[in-house]
Structure 1
Amino acid sequence: MVTVCRVHSMTAFARTEHAYSWGTLQVEIRSVNQRYLEPHFRLPDTLRDQEPVLREALRQRLARGKVECSVRFEPAEASQAPAVNTQRLDEIAAALNAIQERLPNAAVPTTLELLNQPGVIETQHLDQEAVKTAAHVLFDQAINSLIEARAREGEKLAEMIITRLAAVSEQVATVRGLLPQILERQCAQLLERLDVAKTELDPQRLEAELVLVAQKADVDEELDRLTAHVEEVSRQLKQKGPKGRRLDFLMQELNREANTLSSKSVVAETTRCAVELKVLIEQMREQIQNIE
């Protein structure tokens, strides 16, 4: 039984959202398989200058995948609404009272005229640093959720690969068990052909022909390499960190040996085993394409 360290898929989705007094922030991250890390960002103007920081944070946590990061910011209405500077308004009112005492007939300004006085109306400015800090916190939370989702999907992929590895080993064992019968059958067929042809070979020639038959039917090296590659795949599944590229390379090597086994097959049994091996390897390869 293979003990698997967490295998991470490259396909996942995560979202974090929080409402603050000054507005609402939402972070979404989607990732799919890609040979290298390929991040794409969609940020509001308020956070546009934070892309290099967020990109580096992503690079520190992920190794591969096409990753789409979207940050949405909706300011609260209160943060955009104008406010009356009551202190400034009191100062103007005191000045108007003084004028009225000296000039009783002076025109009284309207409310709109008072509001248009400098300093009476103030626009509440958004705390940009607070928005940036909150965005970083939510982005980190979204990355954590994404990694957990990739890990859950990766565990399913690892289980599938382990099952297929066991099936590959069974096919290798089947072919090994057939080798003595295959060699015996090939030798018998050679002797039958000689008998039908009424041809007699000298002992040395006959021995050479038998050796040639044995060499053509001998797939011990291919079976040994298949076993070694299966063991290496199992070992890689137990390693920490990204392992997708290495596993993909091992699938190519497994497929190479399966093809060689098929080309050297001299009986239907080994041909069927070789075909089954290639099917199993292809099933693993398709899933490994999605492993980080």
Structure 2
Amino acid sequence: MTGFARSEGHWQRYRWTWELRSVNGKGLDFRLRLPQGSDHLESEVRKRLSGRLSRGNVQVALSIALAESRLELVVNEAALQAVLDLKARLGDALDDRPLTMEGLLGMRGIAEFREAEDSDEAIETRDRMILDDLDLALDRLSAMRGDEGEKIVAILSRQIDRIETLTEMIAADPSRAPATIAARLSEEVARLVEAAPALDSERLYAEAVLLATKADIQEEIDRLNAHVAAARALLQQGGPCGRRLDFLAQEFNRETNTICSKSNAVAVTAAGLELKTVIDQFREQIQNLE
């Protein structure tokens, strides 16, 4: 989700620049900085951003400058008429000098120079071209985010491979072999009967079998394998998948915690702890993915 893009354009006396910055975020959040007088563009800008991006904190800045100034003299007709009326009413009683252009321009509020305004049609043309350059900046931002995404996908694929390998190690651990489980149950029952001869060995054995069944981790292993397949499918299909992968990471962690809690073998516990480490790394990388 990280990226930067810039685009520039010009038309007649206007020049503008778009700058887009994107960083990681759980959702999609825009921070717009538009120049004064461009607030009418905000709705369309947000629409175009939402249509191209689905996740990340995105800062969008637009600057517009005038390549050349075009001044016009604006006369305050009401103020001018008031001065002329006053002159006509008082005549030469106060001042017998005639009014001159220089004198009128020197009066505050009679006339002033200001930037000439463009027609509505010209403004619409300019705005359309500015938004076209926003699309260009979005193309560049998406390309940069895509390049980053490909690198992250490669890392995630390796982590998924490691999760699958560790799951296979747990599934193949000798402690899960039926003969090993039977021998362990027999030893535990024999130890209890030796410590308390009054106990019913057959009842103890039945209880031990029940506990062993509850401690079996085959379901967790099957679900881990299913999640591995689902994660690979998401990465292969392309497109935004960060939220769905984040959900799978939670499921990976849930199954691994259960395996560690049920484990009665050192090797299985060690593999489970390494699984948790890889899953944490997997979740960290997913935060960088759209």
TM-score by length of 2: 0.76
Corresponding residue of 1:250: 248
123 and 278 in structure 1: CA distance in 2 versus 1, 3 angstrom threshold: closer
Moved more, 189-198 or 269-278: 189-198
Q: Give the counterpart letter for 1:35 in structure 2.
A: K
Q: Name stretches of at least 5 consecutive residues in structure 1 with no aligned partner.
A: 1-9, 85-109
Aligned partner (choices 23, 31, 39) of residue 48 of structure 1: 39
Corresponding residue of 2:159: 164
Corresponding residue of 1:37: 28
- Report 1:57-136 matches (<5 A): 57-76=48-67, 78=68, 80-82=69-71, 125-126=117-118, 127-136=122-131
Q: Give the counterpart letter for 2:153 in structure 1.
A: A
Corresponding residue of 1:96: none
* 1:149 and 2:144 correspond: yes
Per-residue deviation at 1:21?
Answer: 4.3
Corresponding residue of 1:87: none
21 and 220 in structure 1: CA distance in 2 versus 1, 3 angstrom threshold: same
Q: Which has the higher contact order (CA 8 A, sep 6+)?
A: 1
Q: For the residues of structure 1 that align with 2:180 and 2:13, how far apart are their CA atoms?
A: 79
Q: Deviations over 1:230-254 (max 9, x none)?
A: 1111112223432221111111111
Q: Name stretches of at least 5 consecutive residues in structure 2 with no aligned partner.
A: 74-99, 106-112
Percent of aligned pairs with the same amino acid: 37
Q: For the residues of structure 1 that align with 2:185 and 2:229, how far apart are their CA atoms?
A: 34
Per-residue deviation at 1:30?
Answer: 1.4
Q: How many pairs were matched up?
A: 254
* 1:177 and 2:175 correspond: no
Q: Give the counterpart letter for 1:15 in structure 2.
A: R
Moved more, 226-235 or 130-139: 130-139
Q: Give the counterpart letter for 1:172 in structure 2.
A: T
Per-residue deviation at 1:68?
Answer: 1.4
182 and 149 in structure 1: CA distance in 2 versus 1, 3 angstrom threshold: farther
Per-residue deviation at 1:217?
Answer: 4.0
Q: For the residues of structure 1 that align with 2:59 and 2:30, how far apart are their CA atoms?
A: 6
Per-residue deviation at 1:184?
Answer: 5.2
RMSD: 3.3
